[in-house]
Amino acid sequence: MASSETQPRFGQSVKGLLSDKVTSCSGDVIALTRQVLKGSRSHELLSQAARNMVIQEDAILHSEDSLRKMSIITTHLQYQQEAIQKNVEHSKYLQDQLKHLMK
């Protein structure tokens, strides 16, 4: 009779252990699913960051080109300013000569 009493208890304890294992495995599957989803989201974020970086790189290259062009324009404007300044000085000299001739 002791044998028949231990049988149900053993069966119940196996069922309890099995139930605990199923619960544990379910928790592990849920955790794994969350991790896969998080990895998928991370991949999406990295892809978006890469696309944004390419866009920024194009903008930087365009800005660099614009700065190079502005530097060339600045140099040309400096040459023009020097030429105008020389002409103004020459004009003053010519005005002085004209005044001297008119006297």
57 pLDDT band (50/70/90 cuts)? very high
Each residue's pLDDT tens digit, 74-94: 999 999 999 999 999 999 888
Could you tell me how many residues make up the chain?
A: 103
Q: What is the pLDDT of residue 11?
A: 60
- pTM over 0.85, yes/no: no
**For residues 53-69, average pLDDT:** 94
Sign of the CA dihedral with 12 first, then 15, 21, and 24 last = negative
Each residue's pLDDT tens digit, 1-33: 445 554 556 666 877 888 888 888 888 888 888
